[in-house]
Amino acid sequence: MCFQISSYGSVPPPQLVKAEKGTIPELYTPFELDGTRHWGKVLLATPLLCGSFAENPNIPLKIFSPFSATFAAENRASMPTPILTGSCHLCSHHCGVNRSITLGQCRIPEGLYIAHIGTHHGEEPVLANAAGVCNIFFSHCNLQCRFCQNFQISDNTTPLLGAARSLEWATTHVVESLKAGCQSVGLVSPTPYIPWCRMLIDSLHQLGYHPTIIYNTSAYDTPEALESLAGYVDIYLPDYKYGSYDLAHMLSGVRNYPDAALEAIATMIGQVGKELVFNTEGRATRGVIVRHLVLPGELENTRAALLNLRMEFGADIYMSLLSQYSPTERMANYRQLGRALTAEEYQQAVEFFYSLGFHLGWLQQLDSIGHYTPDFTQENPFQPG
């Protein structure tokens, strides 16, 4: 549902205007803004399927937004922008669909679908205090990586996990973690939900909470979508998965990933800077950390990815070179991805990392393999079953 603010003067009482079959009905609702009474037109997302509302008053109308008209008017700056409600170009698939009517690559309508909100201790140590990060794991993903450890919630061929949530529900759960001591909120696979992320952050600010916002992404975001987050995100945590066009196509179905992700990361750096800013406790509060997961049998991809990053951004970018690849059953017979990374492979990746002059960031112990693999059928997905 999209809310348009207008001053219509004298109009009939709030009513659903007659709409014929296949058209979208209009709902006019009163509200007050800056002490002045206005009338707003609420645009419903779903066309009527048969007849008119006047003739069929019991026809159910699916309204996606959880907001009242008054709330929407008071928070108009944080309502979903046309980038979602009209033609979705949040990610580099550029589906261009109206997600209230047609599903795009991510298979997500315009609602808010969250698989899990909870405290997480698996991020880079500078991103959290002792209480951890309050991570929000969104359902489905715009990038379909065959090897994804979060496949239970990211696989777009499976139903969305959980019902559509309201902003109030999400805000309440995040606030619980903040009250428990978390000072950072992580948005995990957030790209299809960017307008919702903005509204959630606004909602937290209105309640007096100003946590460090971490945007944890595959980096397959469009620059325009990222620009809409200026002033909302403090730390960008992008993956740079592939330097190889062929491997990007084989494992994620997007041959243009190496270039699109570099452009996205450049936008992030332009927005918050590539230098990490730390508070007095040593926790990062602003900047960019680029992650790269070393895949078994794919060292040439790692070399290409690191070389791309070095040439594009220099050696003084913060990097996290991950060894935690954990094979899932889905990868059992696919190339060498049915096994874990070897110590020799990771060591070769580390040596190449240093040879390029990288000196800021984190390496990972090999015993991390399997440690961060979640089970989203549990109440706490990262708690060993």
Is the pTM value of this prediction over 0.85? no
pLDDT-derived band at 352 (thresholds 50, 70, 90) equals very high
Residue 382: which pLDDT band, with cuts at 50, 70 and 90?
low
Residue 114 and residue 127 in contact, taking contact as beta carbons nearer than 8 Å = no
Specify the 3-state DSSP secondary structure of 256: coil
For residues 127 and 164, what is the distance between their CA atoms, to the nearest angstrom?
29
H-type alpha helices, the chain: 69-74, 82-85, 151-154, 167-179, 194-206, 223-227, 245-252, 257-272, 299-313, 343-355
**End-to-end CA separation in angstroms for the chain:** 40
More confident residue, 97 or 313: 313
pLDDT of residue 334: 83
Pick the closest to residue 139 from 166, 167, 160 (CA basis): 160
Average pLDDT, whole number, for the chain? 78
* pLDDT score for 19: 38
Nearest to 177 by CA among 129, 112, 222: 129
Categorize the per-residue pLDDT at 15 as very low, low, confident or very high, splitting at 50, 70 and 90. very low
- Mean pLDDT is lowest, of 69-83, 134-148, 275-289, for 69-83
Per-residue pLDDT for 254 more than 50? Answer: yes
d(CA 134, CA 121): 9
Lowest pLDDT segment from 134-148, 225-239, 279-293 = 134-148
- Under the banding of pLDDT at 50, 70 and 90, the label for residue 172 is very high
The band of 381, judged by pLDDT with boundaries at 50, 70 and 90, is low
State whether the Cα torsion 256-259-262-264 is positive or negative.
negative
- Hey, how many other C-beta atoms are within 10 angstroms of the C-beta on 356? 16
The answer to whether 103 and 157 have CB atoms below 8 angstroms apart is: no
Give the range with max mean pLDDT: 12-26, 40-54, 233-247: 233-247
The better pLDDT of the pair 72, 114 is held by 114
Contact (Cβ atoms closer than 8 angstroms) between residue 170 and residue 136: yes
255 secondary structure, DSSP code = T
